[in-house]
A and B are shown apart, each in its own frame.
Chain A
Amino acid sequence: AQSVTQLGSHVSVSEGALVLLRCNYSSSVPPYLFWYVQYPNQGLQLLLKYTSAATLVKGINGFEAEFKKSETSFHLTKPSAHMSDAAEYFCAVSDPSGGKLIFGQGTELSVKP
């Protein structure tokens, strides 16, 4: 069965520092992978997705993620954190049976001035 593990429920960085949010997945078939961002009391917004094209995927707001099959990882990075990046981030993998996404537990990112 597909599963997603996000390492670290809370990550804190200083403004201008590198952001690294970790995601590992298990999948029996080549997966589709996603990162979503959620601001308080709002829905989830798609940051980026991997759908078997380029392994380095660029998304909105300066975020990018690299698909590494050998490590079953899809970590999210941003070179320089901004205060507006403070939010909760979810990694997700597609269920091969069709349609459903399996979500990780989420990582809350705090950005210190």
Chain B
Amino acid sequence: DGGITQSPKYLFRKEGQNVTLSCEQNLNHDAMYWYRQDPGQGLRLIYYSQIVNDFQKGDIAEGYSVSREKKESFPLTVTSAQKNPTAFYLCATLDAGQGYGYTFGSGTRLTVV
């Protein structure tokens, strides 16, 4: 089945450490997105990529970095510069042929202690 795989489901890190969240898709969608979700704040866009080797900052890119070396993969690194990294992170792809709806992965819950 086609879909988006986010791993791991739960991630714990010590403060000051960088951590990379994985997002892999086999939907053949060109565009990929990273969102951060905090209680009561909805979804906030971190980074997005519409084609391989290109990406743009979203609304809250500070303290995060991404790469897009392959169409299938869009990893997100949470750096030590991110002041409050504990959150639920969601990866999504865009199917432009279906009215621009997103398909979401199941998310990674990051806890920094």
Contacts and interface: CB of A to CB of B under 8 A. Distances in A.
A106 B101 CA distance: 17
Nearest to A53: B99
A45 B100 contact: no
Interface string B1-42: 000101001000000000000000000000101000000111
23 contacts: A34-B102, A36-B102, A41-B9, A41-B107, A43-B90, A43-B104, A43-B105, A43-B107, A44-B90, A44-B102, A44-B104, A46-B101, A46-B102, A49-B99, A51-B99, A92-B102, A98-B50, A99-B96, A103-B42, A103-B43, A105-B40, A105-B41, A106-B42
Given A43-B92, A106-B40, 6 more contacts: A44-B104, A46-B101, A94-B100, A99-B48, A99-B100, A101-B100
B106 A42 contact: yes
A34 B105 CA distance: 17
In the A-B complex, the 4 residue pairs with the smallest Cβ-Cβ separation, listed nearest first, are A43-B104, A51-B99, A105-B42, A103-B43
A27 to B, nearest CB: 13
A2 B58 CA distance: 15
A55 interface: no
B66 interface: no
A70 to B, nearest CB: 22
B109 interface: yes
B76 interface: no
Interface string A79-113: 00000000000101010001111011110000000
B78 interface: no
A64 B100 CA distance: 19
